[in-house]
Every structure is written in structure tokens, then in C-alpha cells.
Amino acid sequence: MNWIALLIAVHVVTILLWIGGVAFVTMIIFPIIATTGDSLEQVLLFQRVEHRFARQARIYIALSGITGFWLLHLLGMDRILFTRQTIGVSIMLFAWFFYLLVLLFEKRIFKKLFGKPDRFDSAKVFKFLAAFHWVVLGISLLAVFAGVWQGHGGSL
Ligand code: HEM
């Protein structure tokens, strides 16, 4: 059994489900929310989608982290981490930690955004959230690019 090939396959399928979901929320769900007239409806739709996806994202972050760190070890890359040869891995690690931070502070962020119903401006909040998701998607796609580049001999 070629464990490295198996781990890379699991790593990539996990990333596919994870980042595919982020792209769907960013490019399909947010435009739907933006064209929904009623602000209560907007909040309910957002919360249902985000609540369901956040649960899955936790599994994807765990699985991509386990397979990623395991690969680092098996490929002997842990000894040359943060050098020019492993710049692709550094970008993947950055994206992964970024998601981890967002997930850890998710409750606090949502409380700040949705916590004060008397001063809640749904257009402003969803504009901010849509822009934030585009930034997150950009970082994710950069990490996918970096992963494939690293996996196929790319180095600076
Ligand atoms: C803890 C975080 C992560 C670690 C330690 C990690 C590590 C690795 C390693 C060591 C490889 C194999 C490289 C090689 O064969 O030379 C790999 C492949 C890959 N990673 Fe990650 N990764 C992590 C997170 C991510 C994230 C967040 C993404 C994308 C959003 C990603 C996308 C990919 C892709 C697309 C490959 C493809 C390899 C190929 O085409 O052969 N990884 N990763």
C-alpha cells in the first residue's frame, strides 16, 4: 500500500468538499441573500446555511490537518519547513490556521454582528460578510494552487 498516495488523495478530496462549499456559499448563497427583501428572512437563510456548513467545516479542517501534517512527516518536509523549497506548504499552513482562528472566534464574531437587534443594519452586515467570504475564498484558492504546485515539484 502506498500510504503517501492514499493520504494525498484523502487530503485533496477533503479540500475539494471544503473549498467547494466555501465557493458555493460565496458565489450562490450571498447573492441570493442580497436579493432577498426582508431582513429577517436574510438572517434566517444565512444562519441555516452557515450553521450546517460550519459543522462540516470542522470535520474538513480536522481531516485536512491530520493528513497534511502526516504527509509533512512522511515526506520529510517537516525538517525543511518555512524554507524556499516548501513555500507551497507554508501557504497551505497559513490558510489552515486562518480558518482555525475564524472557527475558534466564530461565536464572538457572530455575536458582534448579530447581537444588537436595535442597531442591526442587515444590508451593511451582509455586505461585510459577502466581502469577507470573497477574501476567504481567495486565500483558499491560493492554498489549492500552492498545494498542487508543491506536489508537482514547484519550488522557488
Ligand atoms: C495543516 C495544513 C496543511 C498541511 C500541513 C498540508 C500539507 C500538504 C502536503 C505535505 C502535501 C503534499 C505535497 C507534496 O506531495 O509534495 C499537500 C498537498 C496538497 N494540499 Fe495541503 N496541507 C495543508 C492544508 C491544505 C489546505 C488548507 C489546502 C487548500 C485549501 C491544501 C491543498 C492541497 C492540495 C490541492 C494538494 C495537492 C497535491 C498534489 O497535487 O499532489 N492543503 N498538502
The amino acid present at 124, given as its one-letter code, is K
Q: What confidence score (pLDDT) does residue 92 get?
A: 98
Nearest CA-CA partner of 14 in 81, 91, 92: 92
Quote the CA–CA distance of 135 and 44 in Å, as a whole number. Answer: 23
Degrees to nearest 5, angle at CA 103 with 107 and 116? 20
Q: What confidence score (pLDDT) does residue 98 get?
A: 98
Atom of ligand 1 nearest to the CA of 141: 30
Q: Look at the pTM and tell me if it is higher than 0.85.
A: yes
Quote the CA–CA distance of 17 and 45 in Å, as a whole number. Answer: 21
Mean pLDDT, residues 132-156 taken together: 95
C-alpha of residue 52 to centroid of ligand 1, in Å: 25
> 87: Cβ–Cβ under 8 A, 6 or more apart, which residues?
146, 150, 155, 156
C-alpha of residue 28 to centroid of ligand 1, in Å: 26
C-alpha of residue 13 to centroid of ligand 1, in Å: 11
Mean pLDDT, residues 111-117 taken together: 88
Mean pLDDT of the chain: 95
* Residue pair 10/64 in contact by the 8 Å Cβ criterion: no
Q: What confidence score (pLDDT) does residue 101 get?
A: 97
pLDDT > 90? residue 133: yes
Quote the CA–CA distance of 126 and 29 in Å, as a whole number. Answer: 11
Q: Residue 115 carries which DSSP code?
A: S
Mean pLDDT, residues 74-93 taken together: 96
Mean pLDDT, residues 84-107 taken together: 96
To test the pocket of ligand 1, the residue of 64, 80, 137, 149 to mutate (highest count of ligand atoms within 8 Å of its CB) is 64
Residues with CB under 6 A from ligand 1: 8, 11-12, 15, 19, 64-65, 68-69, 71-72, 75, 77, 89, 92-93, 95-96, 140, 143-144, 147-148, 150-151
By three-state DSSP, how is residue 37 classified? Answer: coil
Q: What confidence score (pLDDT) does residue 99 get?
A: 97
pLDDT in tens, 42-64: 999 999 999 999 999 999 999 99
Nearest CA-CA partner of 49 in 68, 70, 26, 80: 26
Mean pLDDT, residues 23-37 taken together: 97
Q: What confidence score (pLDDT) does residue 116 get?
A: 82
**Higher-confidence residue: 115 or 89?**
89
